[in-house]
Structure 1
């Protein structure tokens, strides 16, 4: 018999959401991640209505919304002037507006929700090998001190991104390709500008070199991401 029903590899938003869904079905879940702890740096910012609907079906949308800022409108700027405005709320859903909540806060809240359902994330634990059989999957876990542990699960799911050990061991190719010359930078700040700091009001600044999209966070800071493409050497 396998040690656990499902082993989830990767404790990002996808892995955590899957683990919560599986626990809701009464399955035994083990979730591991090679990172030493949950993320703290700025990353993705917006949860869109369809994602909130899916999370609502798992019973976790409420806690995320209570820690988020509803995004009601976005003003678009270009060449030093206001070009127009986008409004939200037209989507026919109980979650008809996107919300601003940063990825590390999403992960923190989902970790707490999962722990409340009886499963803690095993940090600093890397899956270094996987062998799949007809009735189970065998996996090897390695920790920073070099100690290794073997385990079995009825199912193993790789949610650890592009450098997936699970996918590699199963021979599943990553069919995407890297976008060369693209840089995306995100950070948090308290801006000093004449635009104000209204809750639920975001901005998009169009620029050829590096367009940016600052928006208010629940913490009171403004998160901004900017992307730039550099020419690829010939």
Structure 2
């Protein structure tokens, strides 16, 4: 499903100075598996996820999604159908959920993606109700996300991604800052998604979560 081949990537300062992050990195993700990226801070885990979501592009090497090369020119072309399809297939939950929550209510956050896809109102309502139930958000539908706890906001961000029914769910440190109850709920949801055939990629510093999800480990750095 995902193939990264011999990827090089460096962040560049305004003065042109380069800070290499990835060198000759390769990884494949098969459909229906759970993969965990492990490595120290600064090793490139988030960069890998940004590349997979076409939020960054490698300096060298090739990224293929479903066998199709993902390249800057195709993704950033005006009215790119490829970019729209990619962001429907790949859902990204940032480490800080606040950066992706912008709607007045939880229900509107979950409904936003399906509405942009042009789905019928009845289907949008069904997805909102299903995901609110799955992630324990039933009683929060009309609440503003900024009034929720960090763990609740993380669950809203995941629900908003899942509302698009992506083939691949990418999560950057999904349990960061969560209490035990929210962590347990999230791990159960991810395990159920994988059991249902979804593909999950996550980064984490917690080996117990990797074990609970029976994830294949890819070490970075």
TM-score relative to the length of structure 1? 0.22
Give 1 or 2: higher strand fraction.
1
More helix, by proportion: 2
